[in-house]
Structure 1
């Protein structure tokens, strides 16, 4: 049984003129723990909508979504929020750090909802996570005093501090230069691999997508698997050809 599985997922929104816009159409996707899956598509193709559905931030118009074999449509608002906080870690293009809080305080924030030993050890747990992402010497730094790459590392530490089983990364390198972006993706890959978490990357950056073990293209609301050659150059060429034809 897959860790998460979408079957026939569709998402439609009603526009002000009462017409309907179909953002996703019959999406099928199954992801196991430890997998790195990339979804590539141009802006406006529904990538963020798909991520929001995966992360229980939104609900589909049609289709089914099973998480650990449980149909999430049967979960109430409180149960969805609990699963979202326990099972998912979100990494966004915009770092979304609390500007008036230190790096340590930003990473501590999700642990305020933890229970038991984790709650009482929250400062030590957050410190360990920041050390893990290479920011052990920046615990008391405010976001404004950190570089873009350092801010994204804080955001990653915050996303991972509760040991999620599914990491959802939405354009995680979009606000970074090429070299820093590569370092961030290496960090995400390493942490996901060490913890056995599933990593789902939503991106339009072909070099980021090429790092994944499975690849999909999202276009016109349809998710299509893409078979890539092992070599990164071939992967980039294949994805570039697909994008050019989109």
Structure 2
């Protein structure tokens, strides 16, 4: 009888912990604040991909997906093969429990190669099937001061609403990078942007001042950001809200 009671107690404890994990997940409603912490970002930077040119677009989107939809539950044993879970995060259509880990950083450090394979597969699907590589040819790496200011004003409006804004960065030529804008602040003559760039482990700050035609980076050169994947974030928000409202 004591053994039965112990088992029941243990099961109740595990169930309670799972509920705590879900409640903690749902309480972290500020995605911008969440992404500002290194533990909530991938442990590895952009690399690999077609022609070894990286998978920055998909690295950024996966990071955003995981922050909206991944529930980490360290009380459960980790899966031997996490590929199915990683693919669910990539698709971004449901909340996914990640057993055995407490954060995205920890999970991705252990399963870096598995995640990288999914990112590269995603790149191939978008490039070969969906022709998304063409998007990198559309924009300009420098625009008029009026155009740039208008872009920044629109971006500020979105970020002020709590959005994690995905942007493609049109670099001179046919290259296009990507980042996530997680915060903005007004300055006397423009804005400061806090971004998550997949080429770096830490966040970075960029400054826009009225009259600027582009941003500039020592390695990228001049570039202009183009906001995209807005419907994707709306879906992520809706999926998360439906899950949390059902608890």
Query: Is the structural similarity TM-score above 0.5?
Result: no
Q: Which has the larger radius of gyration?
A: 2
- Structure of greater relative contact order (alpha carbons < 8 Å, 6+ residues apart): 1
Q: Which has the higher strand share?
A: 1
- Quick check: which one's helix share is greater? 2
